[in-house]
Structure 1
Amino acid sequence: MIKLPKLWTKNEDGAVAIEFALVAAPFFITIIGILEFCLFFATGMALEGAAHDAARVIRTGEAQKSGDPLTVFQERLCSTISVIVDCDGVSYEVIEIPEDSFYSVADYEPQFDEDGNLVSQGFAPGGVESTVLVRLAYRYNFMTPLIGHILDSGPVENVYTHMATVVLRNEPYAFE
């Protein structure tokens, strides 16, 4: 093989390190953003599942028959959602719809304070064959500011409020 004089050859020592330094920051931000999106959507799905599971104890009358329906509801909610979400951060309201119609549910829009927290309208699980609205809210704090600005949903930066709503009619259970 013919050897070229050193003057005519390029010195490429450290080129890979410099190229990696240029690409590393955007690469890691993208990876962290993807992981945070996964956690964000998993949080929303966990909240939906917890809403359905906690609403079930109201629908079947298990909460009403217990003597302390609020505690039964909270225990079911926290046992379902505590894997991925801090239960203390979940706000909820359970409203008995006075009319015997699902159409009037639209009149019960969620109310928020100036910080974007859900203002609960109380806990009223209703009785036999009552129409009940169960609403959960959780404020998700983004770690990556770029994603937080894209999905910003309130007065606080990098915070998105997940909402889960279940409207149901209680079963014709019997008090024992």
Structure 2
Amino acid sequence: MRKRARRGLFPRLIGDRKGATAIEFAILALPFFLIVFASIETFVAFAGEQLLANATDTLARKIRTGEITFNQGKSTDMTEAEFRQAFCDEISILMTCSSTEVSQPQKLFLDVREITHLTTIPAAVPRVGSSSSSDLDTSGFKFAPGDAASFTMLRAYYRWEVITDLVRPYVTNLRPAGTSMPRDFLMVATATFRNENY
């Protein structure tokens, strides 16, 4: 009897379907949740990119209409720090600026300048190296919006840190200095316009 029980134990174990669903769930749970988290992160990053574009358009409109001026001796004059704070306030729903972000940019980088001739508008993202994933070159960034009736360009860059490992190799395009692998997704928004005769 014991020999029969031992011989029949393995076939009985294979034939027993109790707990099969739990085992299947355990096998499929990790890939399933990775895909769910990757989808959520992609959606949030897309929403953040739209928020950055909207903030750029909003601040560009304020410069264009004379609601924000620079170094003109008017009550609407803003310093670079005040302008950065205004930009941070516009994107604060998803992209919170740190307490030092206004004075020492780490994630949000702004380049506001008067364009003397339309052929001088930069067409590419300024990079430190020649690689498409090189770090952002901010050495030429400034805050100098034009006066009335002049052409002005506002470029906004934001470092979006990608958290999900599954998504990171496919969406990252910015390698911070001192790292070998791209970790951040560089969001870019640009507005070029002619100021009104305010």
TM-score range for the pair, normalised by the shorter chain length:
0.7 to 0.9
Which AA in structure 2 matches 1:145?
D
RMSD (Å), alpha carbons: 2.1
1:145 partner SS = coil
Tell me, yes or no, if the aligned pair for 1:92 and 1:134 is still in contact at 8 Å.
yes
Matched, 1:171 2:191: no
Q: Could you tell me how far apart the structure 2 residues matched to 1:23 and 1:122 are?
A: 51
Structure 1 residue 69: deviation in Å? 4.4
Matched, 1:30 2:40: no
- Spell out the pairing of 1:92-131 with structure 2 (5 A cutoff): 92-99=110-117, 102-105=118-121, 107=122, 109-113=124-128, 116-119=135-138, 120-131=140-151
Of the three residues 18, 26, 30, the one matched with 1:21 is: 26
Q: Name 1:158's counterpart in structure 2.
A: 183
Q: Name 2:91's counterpart in structure 1.
A: 81
Q: Could you tell me how far apart the structure 1 residues matched to 2:87 and 2:174 are?
A: 25
Tell me, yes or no, if the aligned pair for 1:152 and 1:158 is still in contact at 8 Å.
yes
Tell me, yes or no, if the aligned pair for 1:148 and 1:158 is still in contact at 8 Å.
yes
Task: Flag as ranges the 4+ runs of structure 1 deviating above 6 A.
Answer: none
Which AA in structure 2 matches 1:58?
I
Q: Name 1:3's counterpart in structure 2.
A: none
TM-score, normalisation: structure 2: 0.74
Percentage of matched positions with identical amino acids: 29
Higher helix share: 1
Q: Could you tell me how far apart the structure 1 residues matched to 2:31 and 2:136 are?
A: 34
Structure 1 residue 148: deviation in Å? 1.1
TM-score, normalisation: structure 1: 0.83
Q: Could you tell me how far apart the structure 2 residues matched to 1:23 and 1:121 are?
A: 48
More displaced stretch, 110-119 vs 29-38: 110-119
2:68 partner SS = helix
More displaced stretch, 143-152 vs 117-126: 117-126
Q: Could you tell me how far apart the structure 2 residues matched to 1:108 and 1:16 are?
A: 55
Count of aligned residue pairs for this structure pair: 164
Structure 1 residue 22: deviation in Å? 0.9
Q: Name 1:4's counterpart in structure 2.
A: none
